[in-house]
Amino acid sequence: MHGALQVAKTGLSAQDTNLKVISNNLANVSTVGFKKDRAVFEDLLYQIRRQPGADSAADSQLPSGLQLGSGVRTVSTQKNFNEGDLQITDQTFDVAINGKGFFQVVQPNGEIAYTRNGQFHLDGENRLVTAEGFLIEPAITLPAEVQNFTVSNDGIVTVITAASAPASQTLGQLELADFVNPQGLQAIGQNLFLETPASGAPTLAIPGEQSTGILKQGMLEGSNVNAVEELVNMITTQRAYEINSKVISTADQMLSFVTQQL
Amino acid sequence: MDKVLYVAMTGARENMLAQQTHANNLANVTTTGFKADLEQARAMRAFGDGYPSRVYSMSERPATDTTSGTLMETGRDLDVAINGSGWIAVQSGDGTERYTRGGEFQIDITNTLVTGSGLPVMGNGGAPIVLPEAEKVTIANDGTISVIPKGSPVNELVVVDQIKLVNPENGTLWKGDDGLMRTNNLTPLPADQLASLRAGYLETSNVNAVGELTSIISLSRQFEMQVKMMKTAEDMSSAATQVLRLA
């Protein structure tokens, strides 16, 4: 009916998606280990109504033709893996990664997921688990009567128990997983990411080796969302949305004018 | 019936097509590196016998507005914006070279540097840029990509390739039906060493929202005038029928 209607509709739905991405970022402004998203837009195909260079008469050619764009689409969302600010929490079981890498988490279905959120807890069986209660990999089980729990920069977990004091006892070593293309990881919520063909297979490393970061006990990595930036994006999104809805109402007025007049 | 109806009809039809060009610009008001399409109308004469009054209208897209958008800071290593004039060369699906200003790069599964829509970015050697497994990727102002390879010390920067930037004369590039800029015969343009990039920035769309909205309003009024002409043609025709009616 009116091409502009369809085109403006793509604009509206793109801005709609954008707002959803922005609001999700803002909602997670204080989520530990959260990585912000960004919607990537692309113009849709152009339809050639009149080919440039086509004959306009026997001896003349159209110099420029008519190519009409058909709007915009959201190609993808890109996760920004910039590091968030490290916050000192002084909690024994808080561990932040200073640099690249992910902790490995065993989901209830046995699959391994990856996270940057190092808010660990102990479960009923004295095992180190995430805030969701999922076991971390490699599993760390604490003995009874722990007096002191330490995670070193390279991930070695040592404890001092009432029985062993003053000597310390090594329980294991945390490993970090790193990916060729972290942007390709699939976010599944709960601060967890899954491996995909685009992310590549994880390479496991001792923290601090093979370009992974070192671990910091008593610290957490804050969300990397910048609230001011998101608010500015929200303003442009809202205005772009309004403009596109204005195009729709103008096209509608044109069509209604036809039906009234003729 | 007077043929004015057909002249008015082309006016209205072409106004609607022109409207779509502006709607497309507005739909892409937040698309990174988007270049607004210009739109103009042309008079198409079709004179035959009798009074030469048949001048139809035709909308066309004479060119694309290539002025720069605003540079927007993102802080991401793989975001680049061109500072001033110039274009980034990318490889389209059919293997030929196309040009874009959208620098939302990412690294795909084959370690190739690709744009936000997945097209490989061309290096100065004329082949897509493939990066080694890297700890950190930096893009310099002239498009040189250096990486710290995985497991190397921080001071061992390795230069991998240079992003191919071109800067042809105005008017040699036009927008193809995939939205990317291309040359007429698709032969690759020579790289330009003077074009410069800014990493950590993106270029916004250069669509002027106010200008486009004004054009849309103006076109919508023009459209109403054409419809009014059709109405007048209809009135005249029915008046003639009225007068000539046999009693």
The token duo for B159 is 């230069």
Quickly count: other Cβ atoms within 10 Å of residue A7's Cβ: 29
Mean pLDDT of B81-95: 91
Rounded to whole angstroms, the Cα distance separating B12 from B10 reads: 5
pLDDT in tens, A250-262: 999 998 998 888 8
With contacts defined as CB-CB under 8 Å, which chain B residues touch A52?
174
Average pLDDT of chain A is 87
Q: Does A75 lie at the interface with B, CB-CB under 8 angstroms?
A: yes
pLDDT at B247 over 80: no
Q: Which residues lie below 8 Å from residue A125, measured CB to CB, with a gap of 6+? A: A141
With contacts defined as CB-CB under 8 Å, which chain A residues touch B228?
261
Tell me the pairing of strands A112-115 and A203-205. Answer: unpaired
Mean pLDDT of B123-145: 87
Rounded to whole angstroms, the Cα distance separating B64 from A51 reads: 16
Surface of A (131-160) touching B: CB under 8 A: none
Q: Are A181 and A76 in contact (CB under 8 A)?
A: no
Q: Which residues lie below 8 Å from residue B171, measured CB to CB, with a gap of 6+? A: B63
pLDDT at A1 over 70: no
Q: Is the CB of A262 less than 8 angstroms away from the CB of B108? A: no
The pLDDT-based confidence of B87 (bands split at 50, 70, 90) is very high
Q: What is the pLDDT of residue B76?
A: 84
pLDDT at B117 over 90: no
Q: What is the pLDDT of residue B170?
A: 82
pLDDT at A199 over 90: no
pLDDT in tens, A87-104: 999 888 999 999 889 999
Rounded to whole angstroms, the Cα distance separating A85 from A79 reads: 17
- pTM comes to 0.80
Residues A170, A110, A184, B128, CA torsion sign: positive
Q: Which residues lie below 8 Å from residue A21, measured CB to CB, with a gap of 6+? A: A37, A38, A39, A77
DSSP per position, chain A = --HHHHHHHHHHHHHHHHHHHHHHHHHTTT-TT---EEEEEEE-PEEEEE-TT-EEETTEE-SS-EEEE--EEEEEEEE--PPPPEEE---TTBEEEESB-BEEEE-TTS-EEEES--B-EE-TTSBEE-TT-PEEES--B--SSEEEEEE-TT-EEEEEETTTTTS-EEEEE--EEE-S-GGGSEEEETTEEE--TTT---EEE-TTSTTBPEEEETEEEPP---HHHHHHHHHHHHHHHHHHHHHHHHHHHHHHHHHHH-
Q: Is the CB of B227 less than 8 angstroms away from the CB of A253? A: no
pLDDT at B8 over 80: yes
> Ranked by mean pLDDT, which of A5-19, A191-205, B165-179, B233-247 comes out on top?
A5-19
With contacts defined as CB-CB under 8 Å, which chain A residues touch B150?
210-211
pLDDT at A25 over 90: yes
pLDDT in tens, A135-184: 998 888 888 888 888 899 998 999 888 887 788 888 889 999 988 778 88
- The burial class, CB within 10 Å (0-12 / 13-18 / 19+), for B49 is exposed
Q: Does A59 lie at the interface with B, CB-CB under 8 angstroms?
A: no
| Consecutive H or E run containing B244 | helix B209-244
Q: Which is more confidently placed, A149 or B171? A: A149
Between vectors from CA A223 to CA A221 and to CA A229, what angle results, nearest 5°?
Answer: 140
ipTM for the whole complex: 0.73
pLDDT at B23 over 90: yes
Share of chain B above pLDDT 70, in %: 98
Rounded to whole angstroms, the Cα distance separating A26 from A36 reads: 9
Question: Smallest Cα–Cα separation from A73: which of A12, A123, A26?
Answer: A12
The token duo for A60 is 């003349």
Q: Which is more confidently placed, B62 or B142? A: B142
With contacts defined as CB-CB under 8 Å, which chain B residues touch A66?
17, 58-61
Task: Tell me which residue in B104, B107, B223 faces A254 most closely, judged by beta carbons.
Answer: B223
Q: What is the pLDDT of residue A56?
A: 66
What amino acid is encoded at A247 in this protein?
V
Task: Tell me which residue in A64, A244, A253 faces B27 most closely, judged by beta carbons.
Answer: A244
pLDDT in tens, B214-233: 999 999 999 999 999 999 99
Q: What is the pLDDT of residue B173?
A: 87
List A79's β-bridge partners, or say none: A37
Q: Which residue has the tokens 């793109």?
A: A14
Q: Is the CB of B230 less than 8 angstroms away from the CB of A261? A: yes
Share of chain B above pLDDT 90, in %: 38
Q: Which residue has the tokens 């490989």?
A: B120
pLDDT at B153 over 80: no
Q: What is the pLDDT of residue A176?
A: 92
pLDDT in tens, A185-194: 888 888 899 9
Could you give the 3-state DSSP secondary structure of residue B198?
strand
Q: Are A100 and B94 in contact (CB under 8 A)?
A: no
Mean pLDDT of B21-27: 92
Q: Which of A50-59, A162-171, B72-81 has the lowest mean pLDDT?
A: A50-59
